Amino acid sequence: MRAFLFPGQGSQAVGMGAALSDASRAARDVFETVDEALGQNLSRLMRDGPEDELKLTENAQPAIMANAIAVFETLVRDGKLNFTNIAHMAAGHSLGEYSALCAAGSLDLSTCTKLLRTRGTAMQQAVPVGIGAMAALLGADLDTARRIAAAAAEGEVCEIANDNDPSQVVISGHLGAITRAIAIAKEMGAKRAIQLPVSAPFHCSLMKPAAEAMAEALARTVIVRPALPIYANVTAAPDSDPDVIRAQLVEQVTGMVRWRETIANMAAAGVEEFVELGGKVLGPMVKRIAPDARVTSIVTIDEIEALAKEIA
């Protein structure tokens, strides 16, 4: 069995999608649709930068999705493949869940683009710059990370944001609490703690205003049943009911990304091959969770064409 995976924030880079757009009409169609939906030449920003503007959350989120869907559409359209014939299930990390739902037909591309612009803007506005922070705890499992977060909180928010793999957990919350967590992490069992270069504390209770904004936006959104099982971040399990998906996307804004459990559950369900579309970030995590699985990451036209020939 094969699962498709879609990356989240942090996989953006100036130049993303440019070579693929030059090589594939399917990719160009994706970027043109995204630009039209936003009323902005996002594809030019992705191609040429500046980097500081691209990494703004309101731009990075739709850009990462656009790049992943451009890879996906190039694979299925140019390869003349059907998604449900080449994949048995899918998942996305954080905003990548929207990409997975788009690929599976639950959200059309224009709607997905607008939702991610709303999501990115709302998440940035939820907490003033300098108030919150995030840190990666390396060499720490979930239990260790929870102990570190609890010890560092001291009345402030310090919560688990991403349970990425058995050796990497990300915490999120007030800057003071995250700073304390970094200071005590090693003595409490982590190998290393690194503050992340992010502009807001994602996936923690400080994001409640953003969750409220997404609840309002998603209430107006048409969501249809996905063509194949999509594993949700907040449950690490699939659900095809549109109302449940809608609620999970709202909960995801403040909730923990249960990525380690998601991959483990997919492997337990019989997945032997994982394909990451549009990034090279998730593959190493997957190998640490399911070391016996085959992992492929496709970004370039050559990588896409090689996979298409293999799985056709």
Per-residue b or e along 204-228, where b marks 16 or more CB atoms closer than 10 Å to that residue's CB: bebbeebbebbeebbeebebeebbb
> Which residue among 24, 93, 106, 203 is the active-site one?
203
> Which residue among 21, 24, 94, 99 is the active-site one?
94
Between CA 260 and CA 165 the distance in angstroms is: 5
Between CA 293 and CA 220 the distance in angstroms is: 39
In degrees and rounded to multiples of 5, residue 161 shows phi and psi of: -100, -50
Is 94 part of the annotated catalytic residue set? yes
What's the chain's Rg over C-alpha atoms?
A: 18
Q: Which two three-digit tokens encode residue 140?
A: 């720490």
Say if residues 66 and 42 touch (Cβ distance below 8 Å): yes
Cβ contacts of 81 within 8 Å, gap of 6 or more: 75, 308, 311, 312
Q: Which two three-digit tokens encode residue 132?
A: 């919150």
Between CA 93 and CA 256 the distance in angstroms is: 11
Cβ contacts of 132 within 8 Å, gap of 6 or more: 157, 172, 173, 174, 175, 178, 200, 201, 204, 206
Between CA 270 and CA 25 the distance in angstroms is: 34
Q: Which two three-digit tokens encode residue 160?
A: 């688990």
Residues with active-site annotation: 94, 203
